[in-house]
Structure 1
Amino acid sequence: MSSKLLNPMHIMNMVDDCIKNTSPIHALVLLLCASNLYRIRSNRDDGVCGIGDCSYKAQVAISQLIKQGGKRKAISGAFGLQVFRDILSDLRSSPAEHSRVKAIQEARCLNNMGMSYGAIGYFPKEINFYEEGIHLLKKTFGIDAIRYRILGDLRNNLGVALTELGKYSEAKKFFVGACGAFEKAEDLYEDGKELLMNRADSNLQQVQNKLQSLPVCNGDKDRLHQVTNTNLYTSCDDIRKSPLFSSSV
């Protein structure tokens, strides 16, 4: 057997070619192989990080399948999500030299899985993955979880999923938390912080507009809560002045 076929990095290059050529099914098959090879890699932390990369590329491949529509969209919900579950299983069964490295990559995988489930329309399951990722980070890092960008990603994406279900007050809380996490993340360059904070801020303002448009009738708790709340923040600048900015969600 060619040594290249036993090199997960070479397989990942093949995955990139498949994605570039819009062949997401082939990409998913190759990602299963790469994930298994990363799992037995001698450098354990590199192996765990490699599996995290597999989860990202799987999310990209599933997005391609969904856009292609028809039977391929159905494949994304069957084969594609099974590939994701196998990748997560590989990651969880992989030993790591540093438990914190593994926690970050597992949270990353849960985030990517949530995005794929949400893209297919499985919103409750999507929310579960984001919540599981947030819980994992809190359990592993405690208050230091806010040092990592992935916490902001999970909070932001959870807010988006809650918005899809019409749970605007809950969504707002997580967009506020995402702004705080991106601001304090130590694994982001300033340009990256600005981009991600602007994205969370845009989501926050959109959900705020939805809340403001809700009618005050029939005991609408969401609307009544917002109009009587003196701590009403509509932008990241306002949030930074608030104790909510650094609060844990």
Structure 2
Amino acid sequence: MTQHQPQPQQFYLTAPTECPYLDNRAERKVFTHLVGNRAPELNDLLTQAGFRRSQNIAYRPACENCNACVSVRILAGEFKMTRSMRRIWKRNQDLIGFANKAEPSSEQYALFHDYLNSRHHNGGMSEMSVLDYAMMVEDSHVNTQIIEYRMRGADTMITGKGEGPLIAAALTDVMGDGVSMVYSFFNPELADRSIGTYIILDHIMRCNALGLPHVYLGYWVNGSAKMHYKTRYKPQEHLTANGWQLTDIAD
């Protein structure tokens, strides 16, 4: 019987484009497709190697003469909240997150659209249509959830769900060694709640409940003020030329 050897994974390199994080820099990415039965296993391996997932694509920076983008993961089991984090956690205890299948809804898109208009109106995602959003959520061959955050209700202890309008949502991959936060968004009118921080804290708790060691936060960009918040969640490891190493950058 003829045996067919598996095809090697193909990787591609993008053309240079303007860097969205640092002025007067150009970015390039190396990427590959995450499709088929091997996609979950491959996503695990590539995430551990510093890749991020967007739909059915795994990518990582491959910029010439720049290594400012550094992969970050939180050591969930050793994490301790700061005093300000404890206040944020307590402030949002009237919220509950429920993990759904990665299926889009019009309510999600409306919140996503409001969030982008408020926080990232000049960003590359600001012109995303309903179809674009649906593809962002649905086009996954790995274990992806969308966690919806709503106010706690009378039946929350029974159903595990919240009630009322959607306040925040997080697209999240569950992997063999942790969870990867793909994208999150929230009601921009509730800035006093620090919901972005709360969502990360909630993912750390979920990771611990699953018995998994890591929460992958994506890239910390050295020199980018808008990415500096990721250094607050400690202990954390950064991916270096010598592998994942514990780091302590001042927040």
Fold agreement, TM-score > 0.5: no
Greater radius of gyration (CA):
1
Structure having greater relative contact order (Cα 8 Å, sep ≥ 6): 2
In proportion to residue count, which structure has more helix? 1
In proportion to residue count, which structure has more strand? 2
TM-score (norm 2): 0.27
TM-score (norm 1): 0.27
